[in-house]
Structure 1
Amino acid sequence: METIWERYPFSLIKHDGWRRVVSFFGIIAIALAMHFFFYFAQELTWGEAIRGTRRDFAPDWRWLHVGETAVFFLVHHWFMDNWPAWKMAPKTAAEIQRDHEARQAMVDDIRWTPGLGWGVGTGALVGVAVYFVAVWALPIFYNAITVIE
């Protein structure tokens, strides 16, 4: 069974120790970004959390549901291949082996070059910029939608 950490771009890290370290801190960074984003979205939806209350106004309820929202997002994205276009077709052992060999050949052909470094750096910067633009735009979208007058 292939895990997410055996896929591209993690497969570019040749040493297993470095792959584990990058994966560990990558998980923490993704979790923190998702936590702040989903908690912010809840603050915009229901208003500020109030200590001592129950249900959707309680901070502990929101923390719990931030985690649930993140799990639904991850299941949808990584494990269901962005359903509703989910098309899971069983493969034979020979097809799986051929896919693994083709992927490994692709990874073996990739060498770290300055162009690859610029691409990874640019991708990281664009990803961070998109995250902050989404956080900036979220209140604008929430103000445009009025559910209860």
Structure 2
Amino acid sequence: MAPERILKGYLCACLVAAATVVLGVVIQFFDLPEIIDISINYIAAHLVAYLLLFLITLIVAVLPASLVIIAGEVFSIRNVWYYMAPAAAVGFWVTWVIDGVQYSAFDTGVFVAAGALAGLMYWYVAGRDAARGSWPRF
């Protein structure tokens, strides 16, 4: 059924976006000597950061994602670029709106990549089957 497919795709996309941002943070600070000594506190801190980013992603992306998903379902758009481009644009938009700080090119690239990968994941889980399945009739 379509609503379950859409919800599953949205949740998977938000998980991928949050994981990409956490991975970008880890890559950015990978050369620090403290990172070499991986402890349970280090792992727990990244897990908490990942869960918080997942929740923030769910909240921030719900409106733009809803507009793209509804249009994709109504017009039966199954093109991967249709889902990746707006998601990457939302990733870029987040770097300008969240706190007004000028981010580095690497940070902006991480957010854009997170959006693009989230769009790709949504397409893989749900967008390939846009407008297939039945909607509940009221």
TM bracket (short chain): 0.3 to 0.5
Question: Which has the larger Rg?
Answer: 1
> Counting helix residues as a fraction of each chain, which structure ranks higher?
2
Task: Give the TM-score of the pair, scaled to structure 2.
Answer: 0.41
Greater RCO (Cα-Cα under 8 Å, separation 6 or more): 2
